């Protein structure tokens, strides 16, 4: 599912206006958690972005775009016009990739601090309904695929401190029970995310 590119107050925004509301699991600052969502935003913010209310900012962007209902949203220092799309067997991923000069290890020392802009945002769609457990597993699968792509590219880290993911699927129908990397949906999801992140890193 390909987003539309919009501009709000000079900021580039990727907008997914969903034809029907989708069951969504998201780590976004707006509309995070598990629920039915009507739209998704991924918006570019400038380096040095200092707002401490990203949920309010995203709600303002949604209002400016005329989006109704509940949605989920992400912010990134990456130019979202550089988004990469991948699809396999009905599984779609749209990924904006930025690691800056300071990627981080997930299990970093306790005194590690986040420095430098980054953020890898992944918006992913499954063609069939996933159970709540499978949705959680799918988020883990995205994280594993992202980390594999970073390792393959020689990046010294598993991501950035602000990476975010959304996985969306139909809200009705029989539910797939598994979203791990060897399940039918999870395997395709891992490959499309790995491909998108890998391609972005090669272009840097």
pLDDT tens string for the chain (204 positions)?
889 999 998 899 999 999 999 999 999 999 999 999 999 999 999 888 889 999 999 999 999 999 999 999 999 999 999 999 999 999 999 999 998 767 899 998 998 876 666 799 999 999 999 999 999 999 999 999 999 999 999 999 999 999 999 999 999 999 999 999 999 999 999 999 999 999 999 987
Closest CA to 72 of 129, 135, 15, 19: 15
d(CA 65, CA 57): 13
**Please, which residues have CB within 8 angstroms of residue 94's CB and are 6 or more apart in sequence?**
1, 2, 3, 14, 42, 83, 84, 85, 122, 123, 124, 196
Task: Tell me how crowded residue 138 is: count the other CB atoms within 10 A of its CB.
Answer: 29
**Please, which residues have CB within 8 angstroms of residue 56's CB and are 6 or more apart in sequence?**
none
Span 6-62, pLDDT tens digits? 999 889 999 999 999 999 999 999 999 999 999 999 999 988 888 999 999 999 999
What domains sit in the chain, N to C, each tagged with a CATH number? 4-202 (3.60.70)
- Per DSSP, which regions of the chain are E strands? 4-8, 11-26, 33-44, 71-76, 84-88, 91-98, 119-125, 164-170
């Amino acid at each position: 599912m390909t987003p539309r590119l919009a501009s709000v107050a000079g900021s580039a925004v990727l907008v997914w206006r969903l034809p029907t509301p989708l069951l969504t699991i998201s780590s976004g600052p707006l509309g995070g958690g598990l629920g039915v969502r009507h739209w998704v935003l991924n918006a570019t913010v400038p380096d040095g972005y200092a707002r401490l209310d990203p949920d309010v900012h995203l709600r303002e962007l949604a209002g400016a775009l005329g989006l109704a209902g509940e949605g989920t949203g992400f912010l990134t220092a990456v130019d979202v016009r550089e988004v990469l799309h991948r699809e396999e067997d009905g599984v779609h991923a749209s990924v904006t990739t930025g690691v800056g000069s300071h990627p981080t290890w997930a299990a970093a020392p306790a005194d590690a601090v986040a420095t430098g802009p980054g953020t890898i945002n992944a918006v992913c769609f499954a063609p069939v309904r996933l159970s709540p457990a499978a949705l959680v597993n799918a988020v883990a699968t995205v994280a594993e695929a992202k980390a594999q792509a970073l390792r393959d590219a020689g990046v010294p880290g598993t991501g950035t401190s602000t990476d975010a993911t959304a996985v969306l699927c139909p809200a009705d129908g029989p539910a797939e029970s598994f979203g791990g990397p060897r399940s039918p949906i999870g395997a395709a999801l891992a490959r499309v995310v790995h491909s998108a992140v890998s391609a972005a890193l090669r272009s840097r």
